[in-house]
Amino acid sequence: MTACDNIDENDENSENDKNDKNNENENENKKKNKNKYKNNSQTGKMRTSVGCTSDYEKCVLDVRNVSKRYGHFFALKSVSFSVRAGESVAVLGPNGAGKTTLLKIIATLIKPSEGVVKLFGRDSSNADIRRRIGVVMHESFLYDELTVLENLKLYAKFFYINSEQLRRQQAEEEIEALVDILNLKRWLNVKAKLLSYGLRKRADIARALIHRPDLVILDEPFGGLDASSREILVEYFSRCSKTLILSSHSVEWARKVCERGIILERGAVKREMYLKRHSA
């Protein structure tokens, strides 16, 4: 059983969990969105970033007129788009386009100079909201002196204690599944500081997924990974029904995982594009 399978199964079984209603609604929306995309790809129409207009198009992420200024320099200029439940979206663009800045704002790591970011319909600074996102940035969030397994256990415990999102046994199962998927078994007892860049990235991705986030945010997930590690990621994220936003220089790799691309140029959205058609 994969981590994806676990997630779906637990969404169905944990009737007493206060998040269940949200999860059920989001799953329902994912199905509806998939059908909707199917219709759009058949007609060839591009859905634009006009925002999520109804419950039917349930917004996981809504970015409205977001700008980021460093002195007189605008790293982001009035960026707007939204991501619905179950969508996978790539932020694309050349070096310096503003991809990392945008993802950091979405991940609540830095604040916008102007504009608003809403996650799950609420202000993104809300602490409960933060627990629903999984973030991998350029800098690893792993503790150097802890082994891979100790890191995963620590993060699982953190979410277990704080939100009861994970019960202890579920946490262990989730660690096992992610270690298996991301092929980390050989390095479980190695300290994070001793891992190569690619292995550390894979461990960091496992760390970001440990609490079963509803939205996954990945900054350049394919950067620095070898071909087999990239394939591992593609395999996982293209099969997983999670809502995903990632940044990449590579349209080629982004389209293996994402269905929609947002092209940034000099901090502004230049255009949006379909990256792949739904086969469902």
CB of 193 to ligand ATP, least distance (A): 23
Stretch that binds ligand ATP, among 91-99, 120-128, 183-191, 268-276 (CB under 6 A): 91-99
Which candidate, 15, 10, 13, places its Cα nearest to that of 166?
A: 10
What residues numbered 226-255 form the site for ligand ATP, per CB under 6 A?
Answer: 249
Binding residue for ligand ATP (CB under 6 A) from 15, 44, 54, 70? 70
Number of residues that bind ligand ATP (CB under 6 A): 11
Distance CA 30, CA 25 (A): 9
CB of 57 to ligand ATP, least distance (A): 28
Range 5-10, long-range pairs (CB < 8 A, 24+ positions): 5/177, 6/170, 6/173, 6/174, 6/177, 7/212, 7/240, 7/241, 7/242, 8/241, 10/170, 10/212
- Nearer to ligand ATP by Cβ, of 75 and 156: the residue is 75
Q: Does 95 bind ligand ATP (CB under 6 A)?
A: yes
Q: Supply the DSSP string of 57-117, one letter for each residue.
A: G-EEEEEEEEEEEETTEEEEEEEEEEEETT-EEEEE-STTSSHHHHHHHHTTSS--SEEEE
Q: Does 82 bind ligand ATP (CB under 6 A)?
A: no
Cβ neighbour number for residue 16 with a 10 Å cutoff: 6
- Nearer to ligand ATP by Cβ, of 70 and 161: the residue is 70
Q: Does 221 bind ligand ATP (CB under 6 A)?
A: no
Q: Does 181 bind ligand ATP (CB under 6 A)?
A: no
Residue 265, beta-bridge partner list:
268
CB of 262 to ligand ATP, least distance (A): 12
Residue 74, beta-bridge partner list:
69
Stretch that binds ligand ATP, among 95-103, 117-125, 167-175, 228-236 (CB under 6 A): 95-103
Q: Does 53 bind ligand ATP (CB under 6 A)?
A: no
Alpha-helical runs (H) found in the chain: 3-13, 20-43, 99-106, 127-130, 148-163, 168-181, 197-209, 227-239, 251-257
Q: Does 100 bind ligand ATP (CB under 6 A)?
A: yes
Q: Does 171 bind ligand ATP (CB under 6 A)?
A: no
CB of 240 to ligand ATP, least distance (A): 24
Two structure tokens written together for 188: 């479980």
Q: Does 139 bind ligand ATP (CB under 6 A)?
A: no
- Nearer to ligand ATP by Cβ, of 70 and 169: the residue is 70
Give the CA distances from residue 172 to residues 68, 98, 175, 189, in Å, rounded to whole numbers and listed in that order.
40, 37, 5, 16
Q: Does 72 bind ligand ATP (CB under 6 A)?
A: no
Task: By CB under 6 A, name the binding residues for ligand ATP.
Answer: 70, 75, 93, 95-101, 249
